[in-house]
Copies of this chain bind each other. A is one copy, B any other.
């Protein structure tokens, strides 16, 4: 059984999830694909994954776990958390832990093995965003969960172990520490100004223009004022909303337009760049929040990043976001 453990000083929860019996030196080796050319995510191989929890098919009378899907969501075969069981919160002296209960799912973004997520057309990408929303909505009914973390690893260096385009979600019985910090920081601004800090950021960025990558009526992509890495991008809705769950089809299509354009611009600037993106949205058990604003953060994984940031939490970024935005604007 995996475990959730809390750092007693920082209050940060981590997952201890032992994959299998590993020797210490195994941690030095890049994870290799273990499927030997066979792709478990491709159409026709549906029986090699756990049974699907969601799929969109044009033919609504089609059978589950058979081809014909456009987006398909399955439980992760090697989950970091397990769905069955009780949390059994307990102490170990001054430490806190609980059973590693949660959901860990794979969102297969397309039936096509060789396409990049960035190259899906907006209608296809919007279906992926719809799958995120529908799965969050479903998992929210499980009272054990506090948050659903949605993320994508693109490229081996960013942690992707399978080539077929996919993203992941992890439903957690705790809140990620970084989200708690965002909630606290934005609340403290709201208490002072009575405005959402993200709404103020969107307004200022539209006015200043220098960090804008692209925008449409509904969404804007910026390089943030104080980015961790070169070419980091945030994608924000222009209208206040704290919850990704409440986005309708039209809104998700607008998101897909800007998201695919942003990723294409990034890939044109730095061909083949590995990246991660993470959805930031309100906790499952919150009412609408006036002070928080859902958004995506896209973080390129660049080898020139010095390692000490990892240990210190202090970032040195050699690329001013204004210059990164200019490169991105000129790239298409």
Chain A residues proximal to chain B, CB less than 8 Å: 3, 5-19, 22, 24-31, 80, 92-95, 149, 151-153, 157-159, 168, 176-178, 181-182, 185-186, 189, 197-198, 200-201, 204, 207-208, 224-228, 230-231, 269-274, 276-278, 297, 299-308, 310-321, 323-324, 327
Contact = CB atoms under 8 A, between A and B. Distances in A.
A204 B93 contact: yes
12 contacts: A12-B315, A14-B314, A15-B317, A16-B317, A16-B319, A25-B270, A27-B230, A27-B302, A29-B304, A93-B208, A299-B311, A301-B310
B201 A8 contact: yes
Contacts of A16: 226, 317-321
* Interface core residue of A18, A310, A313, A314 (most chain B CB under 10 Å): A314
B316 A307 contact: no
A282 B28 CA distance: 34
A10 B318 CA distance: 20
A25 B321 CA distance: 15
Nearest to A3: B320
Query: How many identical chains are in the complex?
Result: 2
B310 A299 contact: yes
B200 A319 contact: no
Contacts of A276: 307-308, 310-312
Nearest to A301: B307
A42 to B, nearest CB: 22
Nearest to A314: B176
Given A273-B28, A310-B276, A185 B226 contact: no
A7 B224 contact: yes
A259 to B, nearest CB: 15
A48 B271 CA distance: 37
Given A189-B8, A226-B6, A316-B80, A24 B270 contact: yes
B270 A28 contact: yes
A24 B231 contact: yes
A9 B225 contact: no
A177 B12 CA distance: 14
A122 to B, nearest CB: 23
A146 to B, nearest CB: 13
Contact of A151 (B93, B198, B311): B311
Contacts of A13: 226, 314
Contacts of A227: 14
Contacts of A231: 24, 27
Contacts of A272: 28
Contacts of A198: 9
B327 A17 contact: no
Contacts of A224: 7
Contacts of A314: 13-15, 149, 176-178
Nearest to A168: B308
* Interface core residue of A14, A153, A208, A311 (most chain B CB under 10 Å): A311
The 10 closest A-B pairs by CB, nearest first: A159-B306, A178-B313, A158-B307, A159-B307, A5-B226, A299-B311, A276-B311, A24-B269, A7-B226, A14-B315
